[in-house]
Structures are given as C-alpha cells and as structure tokens.
C-alpha cells in the first residue's frame, strides 16, 4: 500500500528529497503562496512548528503559483519573503504545480486520499468557492487542490489522516496535529 514515504520531491536547490526521510514524524504538508489572502497562515504555522517540532512534528511547505499567480517569485525569493516576514524555519521545497497535467504526483496522491469537499458554509467561503471555480476551470478533472494553503495531515506511519481547506480555523488544524502527536 502506497503512502507519502514513497514520494520524492525537490528542495529549493533542485535536489531530490525522499519523504521517507520523515518516517516516524507527524507531517503537515501545505501548498502555499506569498501573495494570497491566506498568506498570514504562515504565522500560526511557524508558531505551531516551533512549539511542536521537538515532539516529532514537521511542516513541509510547497509554494504554488496556480491560484491567481499569487506566488510569482523564484524559489529563493519566496523563501526570503517567508523567512523575513514570518520567520519561517520549517522546510520549504521547490515551487510546484498542484493541479492539471503537470501536478506534482505527491499532491495528486494526497488529494486522492482526501478529496476536496468544499470550503464550508458562510459568505466568505461561498465567495472563495466562486473564485476558485473560475480559477480552476482550466484543470477540469485534474483539479486536485481548491486553493492556496490547503493542508494535509500525515500520521507517523505516512498515512493521510486529514485534509484542511484554507478556510478551516488554524486552531482546529493545531488540535488535529496535537492529537496525531
């Protein structure tokens, strides 16, 4: 049976990184963007990382520019922005696509394990849903991720146990991470 440890990704310098290097840790895998309304999620993510990393927690950050071109910079520019503005220390990987024919296989797998079920109820979520639908029209049945800052929680055995859309409160995300630890 396949799990996240079967995947290899690229770091910011273009080197291969096997996710099996993270065996035994609880992971939060996130597609991010530096110019998104959800970019402030970096702050609670970094706080959670600093407070929980010694318990075997890692956040794996994958910048993506497929949502309204909200991550236009180079890998180095994105990294510099995140470290200077939010003090991020968790691993940040090379910019990837998460939808379409060029979607990274890791995100195709993650979304297959925990498919998109909507952004939730409420006016803000409905507005995001309309905007995301317009943005993602080009990807058709290869739309795996609805928007930036979608988070996947991985248990210590490499299994996908939860998916959190960007509209989910970060306190709920943290509670699930703490439970997995």
The residues annotated with a catalytic role in the active site are 36
For the beta carbon of residue 101, count every other beta carbon within 10 angstroms: 7
Query: What is the DSSP annotation of 11-25?
Result: BTTS-EEEGGGGTTS
Q: What is the rounded CA–CA span in Å between residue 76 and residue 181?
A: 31
HSE-CB at 25 with a 13 A cutoff on CA atoms is 20
Q: Are the CB atoms for 102 and 135 separated by under 8 Å?
A: no
Q: What is the rounded CA–CA span in Å between residue 128 and residue 146?
A: 9
Distances (CA, A) of 23 to 14, 58, 138, 141: 22, 11, 36, 31
Residue whose tokens read 């993602």: 136
Tokens of 62: 């994958």
């Amino acid at each position: 049976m396949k799990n996240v440890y079967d995947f290899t990704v690229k770091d910011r310098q273009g080197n291969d990184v096997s996710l099996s290097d993270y065996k035994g840790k609880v992971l939060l895998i996130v597609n991010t963007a530096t110019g998104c309304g959800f970019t402030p999620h970096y702050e609670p993510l970094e706080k959670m990382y600093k407070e929980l990393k010694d318990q075997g927690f890692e956040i794996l950050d994958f910048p993506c520019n497929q949502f309204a071109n909200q991550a236009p910079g180079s890998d180095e520019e994105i990294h510099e922005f995140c470290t200077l503005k939010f003090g991020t220390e968790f691993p940040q990987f090379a910019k990837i696509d998460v939808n379409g024919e060029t979607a990274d296989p890791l995100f195709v797998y993650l979304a297959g394990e925990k498919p998109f079920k909507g952004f939730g109820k409420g006016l803000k979520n409905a507005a995001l849903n309309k905007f995301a639908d317009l943005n993602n029209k080009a990807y058709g049945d290869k739309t795996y991720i609805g928007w930036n800052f979608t988070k996947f929680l991985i248990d210590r055995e490499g299994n996908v146990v939860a998916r959190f859309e960007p509209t989910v409160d970060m306190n709920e995300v943290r509670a699930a991470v703490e439970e997995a630890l």
